[in-house]
Amino acid sequence: MAEADIHLVERLLDSDQVFQGHFLDVRRDRVMLPDGKTAHREYIRHPGAVMIVPLLDDGRVLMERQYRYPMGRVMLEFPAGKLDAGEDPLVCGQRELLEETGYSAAEWAYAGVLHNAIAYSDEGIHIYFARSLRKGQQKLDDGEFLELVTHTPQELDTLAASGELTDAKTLIGLLWLHRWQQGAWPLDWQPA
């Protein structure tokens, strides 16, 4: 933390785990504000996740339609999944792409990380691109249901502009796809 930011920083006083479910770990910390007063901060501890932007040889991208219970509807998304404890993000991306879609990729490129709910979660989603894809066998987790679809980047652009594509990580995948295709944001491709 830059010393210049002292006027913004909140400091931990004590921490309480208020809920531990199968999935959500909810904390409530007491913090000291920059003015010396105290406040509480409630937030989710999250292991982090990986999203893959899978580029098919015909120029289309591989995506998923999945029912998202909190939203109460099917959402269009790039493949993604949570990091296992201690798992390398690239290994996670390769595992999730294979499990959810059945595809493996010969070339991978790391784009960056996004933080999707900074007010109440420490989740970071690593963004990978994958190409030279080869179809294999999907291995969905028990209780996981999803449908594979493909779109052209232009179709995704139209779906985003019209409000039919609203998933934040997927929109940021589209931003990266745009900027990479325009030559503005380079990707460093590596063999798998």
Give the chain's end-to-end CA distance (angstroms, integer).
35
Which residue from 44, 56, 90, 98 is in contact with a copy of itself, where contact means CB under 8 A?
44
Position 145 contacts a copy of itself (CB under 8 A): yes
Half-sphere exposure of 64 (CA within 13 A, CB side): 28
Which residue from 13, 88, 91, 115 is in contact with a copy of itself, where contact means CB under 8 A?
115
Position 113 contacts a copy of itself (CB under 8 A): yes
Which residue from 14, 57, 58, 161 is in contact with a copy of itself, where contact means CB under 8 A?
161
- Region from 15-23, 88-96, 98-106, 129-137 binding a copy of itself, contact rule CB under 8 A: 15-23
Which residue from 3, 86, 119, 137 is in contact with a copy of itself, where contact means CB under 8 A?
119
Tokens standing for residue 30 = 């007491």
- Region from 84-92, 98-106, 111-119, 129-137 binding a copy of itself, contact rule CB under 8 A: 111-119
Position 189 contacts a copy of itself (CB under 8 A): no
Find out whether 76 and 87 touch, Cβ atoms under 8 Å. no
Which residue from 87, 99, 107, 157 is in contact with a copy of itself, where contact means CB under 8 A?
157
Position 106 contacts a copy of itself (CB under 8 A): no
Tokens standing for residue 89 = 């993000």
Q: Is 107 exposed, middle or buried (0-12, 13-18, 19+ CB in 10 A)?
A: middle
CA distance 101 to 148: 7
Residue with tokens 């690239």: 90
Q: By CB under 8 A, what part of segment 46-85 binds a copy of itself? A: 65-75, 77
CA dihedral 64, 69, 72, 74 (to 10 degrees): 10
CA distance 64 to 79: 6
Position 124 contacts a copy of itself (CB under 8 A): yes
Which residue from 48, 148, 179, 189 is in contact with a copy of itself, where contact means CB under 8 A?
179
Position 141 contacts a copy of itself (CB under 8 A): no
CA distance 108 to 131: 7
The dihedral through the CA atoms of 165, 74, 65, 80 has a sign that is positive
Q: Least distance from C-beta 151 to a copy of itself, angstroms?
A: 16
